[in-house]
A = this chain, B = another copy of it.
């Protein structure tokens, strides 16, 4: 084999990839990709040069430990192990060549061979784009009209605009139509191009925004966008038919600047340039979704005349280029609550240049336009029945009320439900353990992974399932403590107590996958944050859990979690399961509804005025409610009658 004879200039790795090694290069094993070494460049940056996506969710600050790589050759070309790496990696790992790609700095020396283990490779996440469908009567903001015009003569000279408006006013049955600047510039050529037959796009029955030659009246599309902290979803709708014609989604590209919202706020607050950077990446992402959906539906992006966008308040601010700095500082005021209209071209969206972007209103700093969209998509503010809506995320928004009164709060539930701060936590990517069962007779676990792949870690629904199963089987008690006195091979007592789900040789994680004492505690903190928020809202409305007629669970987590497990750990009020409805990506549904109906938009601004925001930090009883909710399922078992039965029975 020739590459063996010249070992200095060749490599081959465990995946069978091989190639030439030249001095001053960094080679990524498995990817067959090589790039020049630059002095004092991190491995993470070198990987970006050759488009290798190493997962780092802390913005490359050495905090998340998700970018572990193994240096196979040329360790001498790296600067010494940093303090952050020493904290994040075990001695054994450091001895085996493990480094954090974001911390390990390259010298401009010889050739370095780096392996990116599977758990550090960013993979296609399972992103929820479906949501509850609530029918609306179609009345989109932008409508097209075909008009046949009358030529001017020397005896009857009218301007092109007057000729068009005269033709349109009959169609639109309004006397107050005006013509926008962009449309005026298109007008002279457009009306003469197809013998005085044109199609005009009219916004809100008020303004001609676009004029096209001939008949294009059946080509009118709109894009609904849901910008989540984790993922961005786009829905292309045919506005004349009122149907979704394509959907696409992508991870939020702001994640490398900070996985959680507060990190991003902190990054954006450092200066105008950072703010523009976060705005820029999300807009580029939306443009990608626009082009992808357009391509798959054979639509030209210039046929997209309207955009509706939802997101939490920080996503809302970042998208619009408004500093989110003060949203994160008490008393957490948003820059604006009411809906915002901005021109697509002003913000850089590559739709038709006359398109408008309607951004739904916010309720408060931590109850944003996405929560308003949730409300639009459900009956929370529209029905006489008392309902609660819980949109689970790093910040969980809760709305409780009916058509008379609705109140809202936001809970700092943290990233545990998304796999964050969990020892083996990961996103719902292939190989993530998503369902867990514990055999009460021998405490042996059973589980299912996303895509039925070999296990790599545990995602949010998996960890909730695991904690519920551990509670029911007695592995943990109501305080969440692992019972280390149980003599079982799955329960480790050396070091921090933990319960092993998957042995090293059965998985792709490189070590035993377990639920640690700390993991259980994270889930307790997270679910207590949510439940205590619900408690404060119930107190404000003077209602008991049993009076709640409907529980809406929204968000990706809310769709994949087992509702019984969630209520077992005490996440939401213990109501009969038939009252629980998963509404999936309700924010996306609300955005689509607003795209199809001007009345829904008007309603959304009314709804915001109708919702009272409750700041938990300002409520004196919050601390006590939180402490009581830390127990599994709750200190007051009478609040969880069915769970009490379950624990007893098991």
Residues of A within 8 A of B (CB): 152-155, 157-163, 179, 181, 184-185, 187-189, 192, 320-323, 325-326, 330-338, 340-342, 346, 362, 364-365, 613, 615, 617-618
Instruction: Decide: A334 near B155, CB < 8 A? Known: A192-B326, A340-B184.
Output: no
Q: How far is the CA of A157 from the CA of B326 in the complex (A)?
A: 12
Asked whether, in the complex, the Cβ of B336 is within 8 Å of the Cβ of A157, the reply is no
Asked whether, in the complex, the Cβ of B181 is within 8 Å of the Cβ of A341, the reply is yes
Cβ-closest 8 pairs across A and B: A154-B618, A161-B336, A159-B337, A154-B331, A181-B342, A159-B334, A160-B335, A152-B333
Instruction: Decide: A340 near B153, CB < 8 A? Known: A159-B333, A326-B160, A362-B159.
Output: no
27 A/B residue pairs, CB under 8 Å, sorted by A = A152-B331, A153-B331, A154-B330, A154-B617, A154-B618, A157-B331, A157-B333, A157-B364, A157-B365, A157-B613, A159-B334, A159-B336, A159-B337, A160-B326, A160-B333, A161-B335, A161-B336, A161-B337, A162-B337, A181-B320, A181-B340, A181-B341, A184-B340, A188-B322, A188-B323, A188-B325, A188-B326
Residue of A163, A335, A337, A362 with most partner-chain B CB within 10 A: A335
Asked whether, in the complex, the Cβ of B157 is within 8 Å of the Cβ of A322, the reply is no
Asked whether, in the complex, the Cβ of A184 is within 8 Å of the Cβ of B336, the reply is yes
Q: Report the minimal beta-carbon distance from A635 to chain B, rounded to whole angstroms.
A: 27
Given A152-B333, A154-B331, 5 other A-B contacts at CB below 8 A? A155-B618, A160-B333, A160-B334, A160-B336, A181-B340
A181 contacts across to B, CB distance below 8 A: 320, 340-342, 346
Q: Report the minimal beta-carbon distance from A302 to chain B, rounded to whole angstroms.
A: 15
A154 contacts across to B, CB distance below 8 A: 330-331, 615, 617-618
A331 contacts across to B, CB distance below 8 A: 152-154, 157
A615 contacts across to B, CB distance below 8 A: 154, 157
Asked whether, in the complex, the Cβ of B618 is within 8 Å of the Cβ of A159, the reply is no
Instruction: Decide: A184 near B322, CB < 8 A? Known: A154-B617, A617-B154, A618-B154.
Output: yes
Q: Report the minimal beta-carbon distance from A115 to chain B, rounded to whole angstroms.
A: 45
How many copies of this kind of chain does the complex include?
A: 2
Q: How far is the CA of A340 from the CA of B161 in the complex (A)?
A: 11
Which listed residue, B160, B320, B326, B365, touches A184 by the CB 8 Å rule? B320
Q: How far is the CA of A185 from the CA of B342 in the complex (A)?
A: 12
A153 contacts across to B, CB distance below 8 A: 331
Q: Report the minimal beta-carbon distance from A329 to chain B, rounded to whole angstroms.
A: 10
Instruction: Decide: A185 near B337, CB < 8 A? Known: A159-B362, A617-B154.
Output: no
Residue of A157, A192, A320, A342 with most partner-chain B CB within 10 A: A157
Q: Report the minimal beta-carbon distance from A170 to chain B, rounded to whole angstroms.
A: 19
Nearest-neighbor residue (CB-CB) of A161 within chain B = B336
Asked whether, in the complex, the Cβ of B335 is within 8 Å of the Cβ of A184, the reply is yes
Asked whether, in the complex, the Cβ of A158 is within 8 Å of the Cβ of B333, the reply is yes
A188 contacts across to B, CB distance below 8 A: 322-323, 325-326, 335
Q: How far is the CA of A332 from the CA of B156 in the complex (A)?
A: 11
Which listed residue, B155, B157, B161, B613, touches A338 by the CB 8 Å rule? B161
A326 contacts across to B, CB distance below 8 A: 160, 188, 192
Nearest-neighbor residue (CB-CB) of A326 within chain B = B188
Q: How far is the CA of A192 from the CA of B327 in the complex (A)?
A: 13
Q: Report the minimal beta-carbon distance from A192 to chain B, rounded to whole angstroms.
A: 7
Which listed residue, B320, B330, B618, touches A185 by the CB 8 Å rule? B320
Q: How far is the CA of A181 from the CA of B345 in the complex (A)?
A: 13
Q: Report the minimal beta-carbon distance from A613 to chain B, rounded to whole angstroms.
A: 6
Q: How far is the CA of A617 from the CA of B153 in the complex (A)?
A: 12
